Structure 1
Amino acid sequence: MAAFFDAEATTRGVTVRVKPHYLADQSAPERGHWAWSYHIRIENHGAAPVQLLTRHWVITDGRGRRQEVRGDGVVGEQPVIPPGGAHDYVSGCPLETPQGHMAGSYGMVDADGGAFEVVIPAFALVSPAARRLAN
């Protein structure tokens, strides 16, 4: 399954895997609008449950402009992930450039209520047009 994902990182037994997908039908390059979805899988390889409480994203467009997004949970949920379990979700990101990248972290708590941060690995957002220019 790991081969499906483009990026992954493990922090304290929690693995985050990411697969971005360019959304041609939601993009309008002639108006300076490009859109992506991204599939995230969060796997708990630890011996006790963990809960995702917060998210922090750093989104950088092709001009180097950074935007930070912080909030509770992911797509309206604060999932508890049991040992050996996983939580999948899909979200999206628009940019004003044909490429960029994202990275961040999740704020988690362990079974004892201890807070810790889990790395969301950096991943590229690259439109087909930007990919052609790079080759």
Structure 2
Amino acid sequence: MSMFTRRPFYYRLSEGMRISVRPHYVPGHSFPPLQRFVFAYDVRIENISRRTAQLMSRRWTIYDSIGEELEVVGDGVVGLQPILGPGDVHEYQSFSVLKSSRGWMEGEYYFRTTDNTYFTAFIPRFDLIADPEWISDEE
């Protein structure tokens, strides 16, 4: 069994969008003596509704166990504003840098449907832990 498959998996269903996240610690880009802990996370957005919607923007809350909390707001995800029809999936990878070995993230995606109504799909809270079990084989 690969270490990659042991990484935790989080998901949440809201407004017909199933949001799945798999975080992992990236030791090769981290430097703990200088309080730099890098975490990557794979996101899968699956439209299980009967409506087409475009991901317009996002909001993340990033919490570091040293007590710092950061809010990140922006258009789309990794430079894209994907349109998801019924059954469509959009996947991407991103990262976050913490000053400590533990924290969490959660957030929201804001979508617009073809009839110009807006809705929010919630991103599940997921843990960021610098644990050797959470390292990807792909690094």
Out of 100, 123, 132, the position equivalent to 1:97 is 100
Instruction: Give the corresponding residue for 1:113.
Output: 116
User: How many pairs align?
Assistant: 128
Stretches (4+) displaced over 2 A: none
**Is the Cα contact below 8 Å between 1:5 and 1:17 reproduced in 2?**
no
Mapping 1:1-135, distance limit 5 Å: 6-128=9-131
**Is the Cα contact below 8 Å between 2:7 and 2:23 reproduced in 1?**
no
CA RMSD of aligned residues (A): 1.7
In the alignment, the residues of structure 1 paired with residue 7 and residue 27 of structure 2 have an alpha-carbon distance, to the nearest angstrom, of 20
**TM-aligned CA deviation for residue 110 of structure 1:** 1.5
- Calculate the TM-score normalised by the size of structure 1: 0.90
Percent of aligned positions that are identical = 35
**Is the Cα contact below 8 Å between 1:98 and 1:127 reproduced in 2?**
yes
SS in structure 1 at match of 2:66? coil
**Is the Cα contact below 8 Å between 2:7 and 2:24 reproduced in 1?**
no
- Calculate the TM-score normalised by the size of structure 2: 0.87
**TM-aligned CA deviation for residue 44 of structure 1:** 0.2
Letter in 2 for 1:100: G
Specify which structure has the bigger relative contact order, considering alpha-carbon pairs within 8 angstroms and separated by 6 or more residues. Answer: 2
**Is the Cα contact below 8 Å between 1:18 and 1:41 reproduced in 2?**
yes
Letter in 1 for 2:10: A
**TM-aligned CA deviation for residue 10 of structure 1:** 0.8
